[in-house]
Amino acid sequence: MAPDRLEVPPKGQELLGKHTSDLVSDDTKILESGTVLGTLKYNSSYDGYAKGSKGYYMPVKIGKIGEEVETEVNGTVRKNPFPDDSMLVAKIKDKDTIVKVSVDNVAVATLNFKKATFKREA
């Protein structure tokens, strides 16, 4: 993986009590432009993310390694120590959600979900 890229983790990757395949379809990918293609699956319970949390989530593997990772989701910024496994999960509201990822104050990628499918089980 290029150091300035984000990619979808393997489908069996464990992420806060869920697997990649619980969150997105196997064909989900992130283009170089930051456009996410594929299906985000609705999760009615994702306590590993946050107690009582439900919705759509985007798992990513960060190519750039550093000390601190910053995510900005629709204007809300969160700074955390860089994860040991280089994995990150962002909660996605809808197709208009924008996720910006920076490592040590250097922009890595901006994700958009305009071409993604949002699947809610009946």
Give Cβ neighbours of residue 56 (< 8 Å, ≥ 6 apart): 23, 40, 41, 42, 43, 91, 92, 93, 94, 118
Please state which architecture CATH assigns to domain 6-119. Answer: Sandwich (2.60)
CA distance 68 to 60: 16
Does the pLDDT value for residue 2 go beyond 60? Answer: no
Tell whether pTM > 0.75.
yes
Q: Does residue 41 contact residue 57 with C-beta atoms inside 8 Å?
A: no
For residues 73-100, give the mean pLDDT: 94
For residues 24-51, give the mean pLDDT: 95
Residue 37: its pLDDT value, please?
97
Does the pLDDT value for residue 3 go beyond 80? Answer: no
3-state secondary structure of 5: coil
pLDDT, tens only, 88-120? 999 999 999 999 999 999 999 999 999 999 998
φ, ψ for residue 26, nearest 5 deg = -65, -25
Domain locations along the chain: 6-119
